[in-house]
Structure 1
Amino acid sequence: MKKKTFIIDGTYYMYKYYYAIPMLKNKFGKPTNIIYGFIKMIRFIYKKYNPKKIIIVFDSKKKSFRKKICNEYKQNRKKMPKKIIEQIEPLHFLIKNFGIPIVKIPLIEADDAIGILSKIENKKKNFVFILTNDKDMYQIINSKTFILKNLSEIIGTKEIKKKYKIYPKNIPDYLSLVGDRSDNILGVPYIGKKTAQILIKKYKNLKNIYKNISKIKKLKIRNINKIVASLEKTKKKTILSLKLTTLCLNFKIKKKFKNLKLHTPNIKNLNNFFIKNQLKSFYKKI
């Protein structure tokens, strides 16, 4: 795998490092724990994986199409903490001076942008490693696209089939049935992991499950009558959930995002940044 592209879910890692790393501050009293986490992550990726390319993707400030079709989508999430917001501008400055491109695309989420960029990189015959912990992203896993969880655990088609008993492409169908609390996807009452796996394995996808609803009643599954009734009752919401959990991979993006490249780091700017933010250990390692 000489041609390796690493695509980082920047929004996920901002939250991860905010909560995982104790609050650090510079001499001006500004928080730096997210910045510290990103520097360590970028250095780790370079040292361990020697990537051809790194891309960091963030959510856009504008509402995504999902929020427009379903106001309850992600409604359970709290507002971004002030101490995360304070680190966004210096974090972007840091990333740009590392020579790493940043991608933010209005109307779609970071997940969609990552999926689109993955397809572009695959067409260039590059292997793609996506750094995230979002189950939605499992649906784009293929022979050249993997999830890199916690910087070390590689998740491919084999791992998805072993854990979920389905193929990656069926993850949206699965999440629509069992739900996904992180995105406020409620799922279908009485349908758990095993039942969802059985239905998807037998009928291929959610659309076919509803086409064969009369046949499902004959399956030897516990509480099958309640399951069928629940499927019928929640049909509209479940179909909507499928739209919400399916990545938008046909969205047209600007040409500048199709040929992203790593640039030479600006050592002077980075060193000044490290000194200003009292990150002297990185100054020595640059």
Structure 2
Amino acid sequence: MYNKQYINNAFLVDSTGFALKYWFSMPPVKTKNFESIAAFLGFASFVIRLLKNYKPKYISFQFDESLGTCFRNKLYPDYKKTRESAPDELKNQLELCRKFLTLMGLDNNASKKYEADDILNTIAQNTRKGGLKNIILTNDKDLYQIIYKGDIWWDFKDKKYSYKDLVHKLNFSPQDLSDFLALMGDSVDNIPGAPGLGEKTAMVLMGKYKSLKKIVQNLETIPEELGSKYKRFVKIIKDNQKIIYLSKKLATLEYITDLNKDIAAIERKVLDINGLEALFLETGMKEGQKESWLRDIKKLFIS
């Protein structure tokens, strides 16, 4: 049932991102009960393939349900303001995805207060303390910051980065990614950053000084070290430290103290095959596909 090669790895999945990929890429599959189950079918197929190919013992799936209600919105009301709420059709399919995972005996979590990234960060810290190495499945560059030595960031396609790869790619530690975002901001999440200081300048400053703290400590000598054109950026940083440090807080992943710290919580549990069959009937998926999936799923739980 488990692959010995991955027995000391925790597979931690940024699930909403994968579900959204299938939502956007697959044509609608209308059934008698749902406007479409395409995202559910794509996501469930991805999970089955993941279990079949890698046979992990430790695995956990995180979902985003905090848009507009996240603790970051109290710090900065415009946080993710440009994001549209998920339509009901997508919300229904995400709920089906979570039901599927639970019936498969697979840990899955979501929160109205915290983002999926915060949950992933918390579980990754707990598994690391428990002696496991993490494989983070995601398309989200924000999750570079939870990659430590022995861990892997993977988009489940061709992009796969170790800690060493990320240090080489960024020219600073991935744990300091929030410092980088504090300077340049993040238009996707509507994190303001320092006005007038873009990605290239932030990359040069972080490459030279490695952290926001050291940049601030060395403000007076930056033009001498990097050139006179940086006088303008030094002034920007001096004049905007409040918004810069707010941006750092928004970009820094939280550790959730009341989340279960026991790594046994993410061990694969018993399969509920009858519950799965009932779920597949509820979705209205085709009979042939239902039977094929049930056969394939049963094989996943044979030692």
**TM-score when scaled to structure 2?**
0.85
Name structure 1 gaps, 5 residues minimum. none
Corresponding residue number in structure 1 for 2:11? 6
Corresponding residue number in structure 1 for 2:221? 215
Corresponding residue number in structure 1 for 2:94? 88
- Pick which of 92-101 and 6-15 moved more: 6-15
Matched AA of 1:278: M
1:34 equivalent to 2:39? Answer yes
* Equivalent residue for 2:147, pick from 136, 141, 160: 141
Number of corresponding residues? 285
- Tell me the distance in 1 between the aligned counterparts of 2:268 and 2:244: 41
- Pick which of 40-49 and 22-31 moved more: 22-31
Corresponding residue number in structure 2 for 1:272? 278
1:76 equivalent to 2:82? Answer yes
Structure 1 SS opposite 2:59? strand
Matched AA of 1:281: Q
Matched AA of 2:217: K
1:152 positional shift: 5.0
- Tell me the distance in 1 between the aligned counterparts of 2:131 and 2:73: 34
1:137 positional shift: 0.9
Structure 2 SS opposite 1:241? helix
- Pick which of 6-15 and 193-202 moved more: 193-202
* Equivalent residue for 2:23, pick from 13, 18, 25: 18
Name structure 2 gaps, 5 residues minimum. 1-5, 298-303
- Tell me the distance in 2 between the aligned counterparts of 1:257 and 1:58: 20
What's the % identity of the aligned pairs? 29
1:1-286 matched pairs, under 5 angstroms:
1-61=6-66, 63-221=69-227, 223-249=229-255, 251-255=256-260, 259-260=264-265, 261-276=267-282, 277-279=284-286, 280-284=288-292, 285-286=296-297
Q: Is the 8 A contact 2:173 2:210 kept in 1?
A: no
- Tell me the distance in 1 between the aligned counterparts of 2:90 and 2:228: 46
Q: Is the 8 A contact 2:184 2:198 kept in 1?
A: yes
1:106 positional shift: 4.7
- Tell me the distance in 2 between the aligned counterparts of 1:158 and 1:255: 30
Matched AA of 1:51: P
Structure 2 SS opposite 1:161? helix
CA distances 1:147-192 after superposition (whole Å, capped 9, x unpaired): 1213553221122123222211121111122222211123334434
Structure 2 SS opposite 1:217? helix
Structure 1 SS opposite 2:188? helix
Structure 1 SS opposite 2:220? helix
Matched AA of 2:159: E
- Tell me the distance in 1 between the aligned counterparts of 2:119 and 2:195: 31
Return closer, same or farther for 1:255/1:275 CA change in 2, 3 Å cut-off. Answer: closer
1:48 positional shift: 2.0
C-alpha RMSD of the superposition: 2.2
- Tell me the distance in 2 between the aligned counterparts of 1:275 and 1:60: 26
